[in-house]
Copies of this chain bind each other. A is one copy, B any other.
Amino acid sequence: MSVIDSIDRVATPAANRAPETAVCIAKRERILTVAEDLFYRYGFPGTTMDRICAELGVTKPYVYYYFRDKHEIVETLAWRASLACLTTMKFPADDTRPAHLKLAEGLQRWVAACVTHFRASALAFRVTASLRPEFRAELRSLAHDFYADLGALMDESKEQGKLSFEDTTVTAMAMGGVVGFMYTWYQPEGRLSPDELVSRLTTTLFKMIGLRATPARARTTTKKPNKAHG
């Protein structure tokens, strides 16, 4: 998969920098975790390298050992999230189920991925202007492929009489708004649990295309431990 290859191109440190030992990877991930939260809260220009370092309790050369520059950090985050969200409409070649069943599963996965990665996926939209043009083009390409897959499944299901909607493109974009805009209002500690939110949003998407099916049980990958544990 060329798509899977490209994550390494962005996310893997160059040979002359941090090696890929378990310790280095862990430190690298810690930087990413802190940066993700700061970028989400204060935006890309509003987050200084000094702030990231302060939050980590380290100095700048520490961070610059693991990342070439500030852009490599935000691009790694945005790329991971985009990859997680925008490959959910791909199915193996030997998957011969009818289109509307694949679509139902894909939409469910899409929503779940967007809920899980809502912080980082916000980056892909909000900091667009701060991203390098080449990287923006890659994100656009990823999104383009996703909407092509989504539109194809929608059209095929519609031809088979399983869906009802007016305009494929506008409806697909409208669905993109439903999940893509979530970062403006979603609060992980809010009224709904991640799984409940996924379920309700998936139901909404189904309704938008006239898909009559019950969403399967949601499965989100929450990094933080659940509140029920405390």
Contacts and interface: CB of A to CB of B under 8 A. Distances in A.
A167 B199 CA distance: 11
Interface in A52-95: none
Nearest to A183: B125
Interface in A104-144: 125-130
Contact of A178 (B178, B182, B184): B178
Interface stretch (A2-10, A24-32, A149-157, A168-176): A168-176
Given A197-B170, A200-B170, A45 B176 contact: no
A103 interface: no
Q: Copy number in this complex?
A: 2
Given A176-B181, A180-B184, A201 B170 contact: yes
7 contacts: A42-B129, A45-B46, A126-B126, A126-B129, A165-B204, A173-B182, A177-B181
Contacts of A169: 191
A132 to B, nearest CB: 12
A210 B128 CA distance: 35
A interface secondary structure, majority: helix
Contacts of A171: 204
A210 B130 CA distance: 40
Given A180-B181, A185-B173, A200 B167 contact: yes
Q: Which 4 A-B pairs have the closest CB atoms?
A: A43-B129, A177-B181, A45-B45, A177-B177
Contacts of A210: 207
A166 interface: yes
A170 B192 contact: yes
Interface string A188-205: 000110000100110110
